[in-house]
Amino acid sequence: MRSRKSAQNIITSLLLQLVTVICGFIVPRAVIGEYGSAVNGAISSITQFLSYIVLLEAGVGGVVRAALYKPLAVRDMKAVSSVVRATDRFFRAVALIFVGYLLLLACGFPFLVNNEFDWLFTFLLVLIIGAGTFAQYYFGLTCQVLLHADQKRYISSLLQIFTVAINTVFVVLFIKLGFSIHVVRLTTAAVYILRPIVLRLYVSRKYRLDKRAKPDNTAISQRWDGLGHHIAFFLHTNTDIVVLTVFSRLSSLMGISEVSVYTVYYSVVAGIEKIVSTLSSGIEAAFGNMIANGEEEALRRNFRIYEFVSFLLTAVLFTCIGLLILPFVSVYTRNITDTDYIRPAFAVILTLAEAVYCLRIPYNIVTLAAGHFRQTRNGAFAEAGINVVLSCILVVPFGLTGVAAATLAAMGFRTTQYVIYLSKNIVNRSPALFFLRLAINSAASAACIAVVSGMHAFSGTTYFEWLVYALGVTVVCGSVISLFNILIFRGDFKNLLRIIKNTIKNK
């Protein structure tokens, strides 16, 4: 049952990420082409500043999932209802605070971007984007957490696929029809309001929750311990753009268009990161179930297989991206002349930073599934501090490359901490296996780079030409890295095949 649910979650989550990545390229390109890099950069900055309000969530999402694993495993709906009521009350309070923050940001954001736009233009844009963010993250967040804890992530994934695709169609259509950016973003806000409404209707019908149950506030008592993890994850995805926005106001060497450059590259690496994290989104609840039931041997065995797959996937995908990102950006930004989008050093460092982040996902997900928030919170705060301080120090002399380097340093620190903690306290093994996998996959990646460097350099100007080139690079990287891993970690590969065979047989 766990394998089947995990497979459903992984497949739908992977489909969601593929749709999100594709749509994530279509929409910004349409915006840049019609309104310019400055408008695209402003939208990205506004979105990131609005996202800072989720810090008030204080890591409740992960804490609540951990609290729900046990009652869901034994189908104690009374306990589930109490946790859900406490969570819902918490998120509604955060939503009210968000409204005040939204108004403050709408008034102040025009001054952050050095008055590149009319004040009313920016004020309305912030309010419109904020409406979509408000609906998307808070109205249905409790229901989403419940579904994820119950190994039904596929429900929210399918719904999100629909809303992302429909939003992209409407955005492109409205841009082609010549509507203003405000009307385009208002359409996006309207589309995303549908998702939380449908989620709440689904949960109301499928779960017998007691709406009068006494809220179990002890279930979210670890939220302050989860805050460190939440801050670290949030800053990982948001620090760079905010720092670039602020320093575009303070430094004459940068403008808001630099945010647009960052967004284009980050969209590529973040898309790959989401594909890798799909594994965790599909099986986090399964690991939580094993821990709740005390299945220590099953946890160790399945974690090793998960680790093998995660390393292999990360190495293949990020080696490909490291080799393909500059050719892609050259095609993607062809005929755009308002700023320089070709940044080789930035591309390499940003790719490495996201690759290191993906390598830690298995260790992160199992540590939090075990509920070890307090034990690992100090490392999370340290990661956040490293990221912010180094970004502020390096942004002026090195620009985009500097903030990417700061992110890489923070990722390296936190990944090492997670590996050591999990190895010693949860799966009870030596952390040396992680470093062995890192060495083997690094060698395999270097071999791929050497092979591809001997090929003809990409000189195409169309997406079709890039796809043909990318196919050749992917075949080389997939073959070489898979061969390295299968030869060195044959036992893990055989166990993976056994699980796949059993899953198909059980269906």
Among 382-391, 406-415, 495-504, which range has the highest average pLDDT?
A: 406-415
pLDDT surpasses 80 at 478: yes
Res. 409 pLDDT band, cuts 50 70 90: very high
316/208: higher pLDDT? 316
Closest CA to 492 of 256, 312, 225, 257: 312
Calculate what percentage of the chain has a pLDDT beyond 90. 26
Closest CA to 271 of 9, 4, 25: 25
pLDDT of 122: 87
3-state secondary structure 355-397: HHHHHCHHHHHHHHHCCCHHHHHHHHHHHHHHHHHHHHHHHHH
95/343: higher pLDDT? 343
Question: What is the mean pLDDT of the segment spanning 334-345?
Answer: 87
pLDDT of 454: 80
Interval 124-145: pLDDT, tens: 998 988 887 677 666 777 888 8
pTM: 0.72
Res. 354 pLDDT band, cuts 50 70 90: very high
Interval 357-385: pLDDT, tens: 999 888 888 887 777 777 777 887 888 88
What does R_g of the chain's alpha carbons equal in angstroms?
Answer: 23
283/43: higher pLDDT? 43
Closest CA to 207 of 114, 296, 79: 79
Interval 244-281: pLDDT, tens: 877 876 655 566 788 888 988 988 898 888 777 776 65
Res. 62 pLDDT band, cuts 50 70 90: low
Interval 101-116: pLDDT, tens: 888 888 888 777 656 6
Sign of CA pseudo-dihedral 22, 26, 27, 32: positive
Interval 160-203: pLDDT, tens: 899 999 999 999 999 999 899 999 998 888 888 888 888 888 88
Q: Find the helix packing angle between 223-250 and 77-112, rounded to 10°.
A: 10
pLDDT of 231: 65
pLDDT of 58: 52
Res. 78 pLDDT band, cuts 50 70 90: confident
